[in-house]
Amino acid sequence: MIVNIVPLLGTRAKVLTQFSRSTLLSLLIFFGASQVWAQKNGSAPPPDSMWTVELPLMVVTATRTAISLRDVPVPTKVLLSKEIKKRGVLRLSDLLAEEPGMLQVHYFGAGIQLQGFDSEYTLILIDGQPVIGRNGGTLDLERFAVSDIESVEIVQGPSSSLYGSEALAGVINLRTRKASHPFSASAAYRMQTNGTRNSTLSAESRGSWFGSRISYDRYSSDGFDLSPEVLGLTGPGFVTHTSSAKFDAKLNDRFSVVLGARLAIQDQSNKIGFDRSGAQLSFDETLNQSDWSVTPELAWKLTSRNKLTLVGHVTSFDTRRVLSDEEGRSTDRFEQNYRKIEVQNDLILGSGLILNTGGGIIYEDVRADRISGEKRANRTFYAFSQQQWFPIDLLQITTSARLDRHTDYGTRFSPRGAIMFKAPGSLRVRASVGSGFKAPSFQQLYLDFTNAVAGYTVIGAADAGTALQELDEIGQIQTFLTDPNAFAEIRPESSVAYNLSTDFDLTPIVHIHVALFRNNVKDLIETIPVASKPNGQSVFSYINLSRIYTQGLTSEIRVRSGRSLSFAIGYQYLDARDRDVLEKIEAGQVFGRRNGRDFRLTRSDYGGLYNRSRHSGTLQIAYEHERSRTSVRIRGTYRSRYGYSDRNGNLILDASNEYVSGYTIWNATVSRTMRPRMIFRGGINNIFAYTNLEFVPSFSGRQVFASLSYSIH
């Protein structure tokens, strides 16, 4: 077993470097001309297969150290770059939506729901470092191109014992490419419905001790309109530029350095209109968004069994939204900065025990027009420890814990334990129990926002009592729904999670994965109305209120029929409910209305949490024709009906008109290698043109695309 773990002493972190998009082309030309040709490092490319569980891959996200995928003690899946390309997806949101147990949700952007948790509970990393810039809790996955991704590692279940806040549902880590050829360059261009265009350029060089890679991705669209009778586009036009670079050097047998950065810029424009008191108003809306990160890493092999890694991470996210008309303009700006320094020590204590320890400091600040005060900042000091123990070849035991000390919400302790049993042959049984937490966001603590059009107000919990009294003094409160003096400091949301999974080969060509999960959450932070205004609108704030649980089953069957055909079928059953509501139902305190009469609800009437589908599934079919060098990928996703909003005033999901009907999306891609280095891809996304303007306006209908890529080595 220890043979599989020794690679943890190799270089782990990968990140990116920043440069201006206006100089990108000259950088590519200079890069190709200036690199010294060197001997190839001989590393083989990852196998080309959609069946990731069976591959001898090394992953780092689940344990913070390099370990064979087959030996990871918690549910983990890896998506490889070659399979990502053959699916023909452009953005991370499209890729993850096709995976079992991962439902795409659209609320302030495209997010992913994992184990019944909304997208704000899943931590997104790039090369092990956090990505910032959430809007309404959602980190919009449309921001991330997949063109420079080597692999995507998905860890299900709470990972706060290693990563802290936001990892309550799981972790998704995007591992970017590292230079592996003496010299290589590639270019690709794609055309798609709605004037969508995608261009990519990349170049890399690998020498005896130094490697470098740079890439550029331009993604643009004219937008789409599902309601021509209404002023403005349903999906606005945009242009997104993403530049990244990675430089790594092995200074000697003991020291190695990685330096990288990422820069992404998006410009978006639209015209919006609405009716106010019979008058038609229109505005020009523009959105300018940028985020960048710089991450240096130094790794030092103290001995053959001990490695010390020092990582710094600096990142910033900035948005500026402008509404303008003939009478003037208004600007809404949000800026978030995040700085971290961390040290980690990996130590092999014996033939069957590995100890990983570390700690760091995080400094974060926010400046926003909607945040009360000129600037809000906090600090987090943290320490973590993990023990991986292999008492016998068939058994692995992993324990981990993390202590976070935050200036706003105090101290949090997050433990986790996991065990994996490996029977002779293919059988793997994994079980884990652990805690996770999610800290209150700056918005939940300090938001101070009034919608000038609708008239409602949202205030953060930290200032709610004072803010309500000030509004009352100037005559902006009609009725208090909550005592202003009753507000207390909101606590982090926390969970205890149980996961049990098994993987095994039913036959030489059939692999089965089944996972059971249960998450008990308390102190869920909810938005509630706390007062009514004279204009009839409400004042909202945040409070720790609900106790919820999510539980269910995720399964996948993968079949490989010969060398040419393979397919996978995935299914998830999800039960997500509010325990407070269940207790009130049992006490006969919750009523519904049917045929004009009130009646007491039973447990079977209660539909659970909103925006959760009880059933969902995926289907992937892959066909490879070696003689013609052609591949076909067909993918389907299904989600059953889900609750959208309360219609009968009892504040829970129980009536049939409170649901959105289920739907199915089908995508198909054909790839053909025309020459050794030229590849054509074409396909159709959303083949049957599903749209739902009222509830899912992000679906634009059928999308036809064609692309051509060329590379040199």
Coil vs helix vs strand at 150: strand
Scored b (16 or more CB within 10 A) or e, 285-324 reads bbbebbbbbbbbbbbebeeeeebebbbbbbbbbbbebbbe
Cβ-based neighbours of 455, under 8 Å, separated by 6 or more = 533, 535, 536, 537
Instruction: Give the DSSP per-residue string, 247-299.
Output: EEEE-SSSEEEEEEEEEEEEEEEEEEEEEETTEEEEEEEEEEEEEEEEEEEEE
531's CB contacts (< 8 A; 6+ apart) are 468, 471, 477, 478, 479, 480, 481, 482, 538, 539
pLDDT for position 158: 85
d(CA 441, CA 165) in angstroms, rounded, equals 10
Closest CA to 158 of 400, 468, 472, 451: 400
What are the residue ranges in the chain where pLDDT is below 70? 1-59, 274-280, 373-374, 451-455, 486
Between the two ends of the chain, the Cα-to-Cα distance in Å is 36
Question: Which residues neighbour 298 within 8 Å (Cβ) at sequence distance 6 or greater?
Answer: 255, 256, 257, 309, 310, 311
pLDDT score for 38: 31
What is residue 672's predicted lDDT score, i.e. its pLDDT? 95
Cα 415 to Cα 437: distance, rounded to the nearest angstrom: 11
Nearby residues of 555 by Cβ (< 8 Å), 6 or more positions away = 100, 512, 513, 514, 515, 570, 571, 572
DSSP assignment of 114-145 equals ETTB-GGGEEEEETTEE----BTTB--GGG-B
Token pair of 611 as six digits? 């925006």
d(CA 502, CA 573): 17
- This prediction's pTM: 0.86
pLDDT of residue 73: 82
**CA–CA dist 169, 167 (Å, integer):** 6
Res 260: pLDDT: 93
CA distance 560 to 532: 61
Residue 40: its pLDDT value, please? Answer: 32
3-state secondary structure of 454: coil
Closest CA to 315 of 363, 273, 361, 348: 363
CATH number at residue 652: 2.40.170.20
pLDDT value of residue 451: 64
* Tokens, residue 399: 């324990």
Alpha-carbon span 294 to 486, nearest angstrom: 43
Q: Say which residue the tokens 């700006």 belong to.
A: 333
Measure Cα distances from 516 to 71, 74, 166, 502, 553 in Å. Answer: 19, 12, 22, 9, 5
Domain housing 300? 2-712
> Using CA atoms, how far apart are residues 160 and 175, in angstroms rounded to an integer?
20
| Residue closest to 333 by CA, chosen among 365, 370, 364, 286 | 370
Q: Give the per-residue pLDDT at 21.
A: 36
Number of domains in the chain: 1
